[in-house]
């Protein structure tokens, strides 16, 4: 039975989320109560989005720039979230945003939608705002024009792992020990934690309110981008020097951001044009009206970093990275601040046999390839005051969560499916080594993933300096694991002796 058919006799109110593939929209879908609402997501390619949604969430086809495609998606909807913008477009984003909002507002009225909840941007319209911020305000006006009730939230910087602003702050602080910064880095803003923002958005579905109000929302603190970078650096243990200079124009700044951050230059230019203006809450009535106690900047950044650790712990790389018949090098993949090297191999054996080979790794069995390099790394670690390679492992066959394996510790283990090791050597960051096992077409796909969370520029330099050696070692290790698995000889390894990397 299809999801749509199962909803035929469901009397729960339907809530439509646009922008579910984006940062805020994706988290909103998770935050909404499935028991209370039927959740529907609008997407140009719903078949791609559906695989990322829960089993009770429906993805439907629609494009806000295609007026005729919206009516089927909005049919039966009581409340619709409008979380769309065109910052990443190559054309006239102002006109695209205007057309999209006009189409959506008109279609919502025709389909009987009772309320639209819109997330826009803070900024005083009397101060000559940037095109991006003016467009955000204009979108709210276009949504209200057909007569559907609109609750508009206006927010500044959103702080959360994966948000555009947080990723920019992270990249600049991690990579640049000394920063020469333009004036916009000192402009005051009132950042909001993603958790607080979601509280507002969720509460707006059922709250009783008259007319189409505009609510300004923000966090507890007023701070600049420079202050945010300093706080991020403090929590990561990074000392950073910021030197203001008057000569970096928005155009130059956007190209500079494109070099050192994940931002595209065109998005960076629009973002910088906007952050040149103070984005502060002037009307604080939303705080009392919705009962949200705002989070401070320090707590918001700490929560973002904790959330990354939790998401990373829950991640299965086989879901995030494509598998193949041959080894695949994924050294450029990023997960938050982490860099990833992942590769796969197919073996003619079941998952239990492959798992047993990896389960016996380390100790007297060695690490299956270039053990002299592992030994050398262990000596260097000892000289640096680390644990070195003296610990071995408690049992040559048995392995459990928390067990020591040379200079690693088992962080997670699912028999026949997954082993993840956490490095305990001296490093400019944190490191993990993970193995996953999946049966496919009568064979076992073994995925080996090395992950490094670099601490600042020194950590990045360490990763890339050793990357050629790591590539050789990890490729050789996986080939050896494949041969041992296929031969059913997982209890024999390479040369004996101390090991660590």
327: Cα separation from own chain's centroid:
26
pLDDT at 8: 59
pLDDT at 313: 63
**How far apart are alpha carbons 103 and 419 in whole angstroms?**
50
**How far apart are alpha carbons 262 and 170 in whole angstroms?**
10
Three-class secondary structure of residue 405 per DSSP: strand
* CB-based contact 125:92 (threshold 8 Å): no
Q: Which of 178, 188, 165, 184 is nearest to 233 (CA)?
A: 178
Residue 461's contacts (CB-CB under 8 Å, 6 or more residues apart) are none
Residue 7's contacts (CB-CB under 8 Å, 6 or more residues apart) are 38, 58
Place of tokens 């080594």: 433
Q: What is the pTM of this model?
A: 0.74
pLDDT at 86: 63
Query: What domains does the chain contain, in order, with CATH numbers?
Result: 3-291 (3.40.50.720), 317-487 (3.30.530.20)
pLDDT at 307: 85
Percentages helix, strand, coil for the chain (3-state, rounded to 5) are 40, 20, 40
Three-class secondary structure of residue 363 per DSSP: helix
Burial of 440 from C-beta contacts in 10 A (0-12 / 13-18 / 19+): exposed
Q: Which of 85, 290, 276, 91 is nearest to 189 (CA)?
A: 276
Handedness of CA 321, 326, 327, 332 (dihedral sign): negative
Q: Which of 183, 368, 165 is nearest to 270 (CA)?
A: 165
Cβ atoms < 10 Å from Cβ of 390: 11
Joined tokens for residue 125: 């319209």
**How far apart are alpha carbons 201 and 26 in whole angstroms?**
13
Q: What is the pLDDT of residues 240-270, one digit of tens each?
A: 888 877 765 555 555 566 555 555 444 555 5
Q: Please identify every stretch of the chain with a pLDDT value under 50, giving residue numbers as ranges.
A: 1, 264-266, 317-332, 489-501
């Amino acid at each position: 039975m299809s999801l749509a058919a199962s909803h035929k006799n469901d009397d729960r109110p339907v809530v439509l989320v646009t922008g579910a593939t984006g940062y805020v929209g994706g988290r909103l879908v998770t935050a909404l109560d499935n028991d209370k609402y039927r959740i529907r997501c609008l997407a140009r390619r719903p078949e791609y989005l559906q695989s990322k949604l829960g089993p009770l969430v429906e993805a439907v086809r629609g494009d806000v720039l295609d007026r005729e495609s919206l009516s089927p998606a909005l049919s039966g909807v009581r409340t619709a979230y409008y979380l769309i913008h065109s910052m990443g477009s190559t054309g006239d984003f102002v006109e695209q945003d205007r057309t999209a909002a006009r189409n959506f507002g008109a279609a919502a009225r025709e389909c009987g939608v009772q309320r639209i909840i819109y997330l826009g941007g803070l900024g005083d319209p009397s101060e000559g705002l940037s095109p991006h911020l003016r467009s955000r305000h204009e979108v709210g006006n276009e949504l209200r024009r057909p007569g559907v009730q609109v609750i508009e939230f206006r927010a500044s910087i959103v702080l959360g792992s994966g948000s555009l602003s947080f990723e920019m702050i992270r990249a600049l602080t991690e990579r640049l020990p000394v920063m020469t910064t333009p004036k916009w880095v000192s402009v005051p803003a009132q950042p909001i934690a993603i958790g607080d923002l979601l509280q507002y958005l969720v509460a707006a579905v059922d709250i009783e309110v008259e007319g189409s109000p505009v609510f300004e929302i923000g966090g507890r603190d007023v701070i600049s981008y420079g202050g945010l970078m300093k706080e991020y650096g403090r929590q990561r243990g990074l000392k950073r020097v910021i030197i203001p200079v008057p000569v970096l124009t928005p155009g130059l700044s956007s190209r500079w951001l494109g070099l050192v951050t994940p931002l595209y230059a065109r998005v960076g230019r629009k973002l910088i044009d906007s952050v040149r203006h103070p984005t502060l809450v002037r009307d604080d009535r939303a705080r009392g009206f919705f009962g949200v106690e705002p989070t401070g900047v320090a707590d918001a950044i700490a929560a973002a970093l904790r959330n990354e650790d939790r998401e990373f712990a829950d991640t299965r790389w086989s879901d995030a990275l494509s598998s193949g018949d041959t080894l695949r090098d994924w050294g450029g993949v990023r997960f938050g601040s982490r860099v990833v090297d992942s590769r796969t191999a197919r073996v003619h054996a079941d998952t239990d046999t492959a798992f047993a080979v990896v389960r016996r790794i380390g100790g007297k069995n060695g690490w299956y390839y270039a053990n002299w390099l592992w030994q050398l790394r262990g000596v260097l670690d000892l000289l640096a005051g680390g644990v070195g390679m003296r610990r071995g492992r408690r049992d040559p066959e048995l392995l459990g969560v928390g067990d020591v394996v040379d200079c690693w510790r088992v962080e997670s283990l699912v028999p026949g499916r997954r082993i993840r090791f956490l490095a305990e050597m001296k490093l400019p960051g944190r490191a993990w080594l993970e193995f996953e096992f999946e049966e496919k077409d009568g064979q076992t796909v073994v995925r080996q993933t090395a992950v490094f969370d670099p601490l600042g520029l020194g950590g990045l330099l360490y990763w890339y300096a050793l990357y050629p050696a790591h590539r050789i070692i990890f490729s050789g290790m996986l080939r050896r694991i494949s041969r041992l698995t296929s031969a059913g000889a997982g209890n024999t390894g390479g040369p004996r002796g101390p090991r660590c990397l």
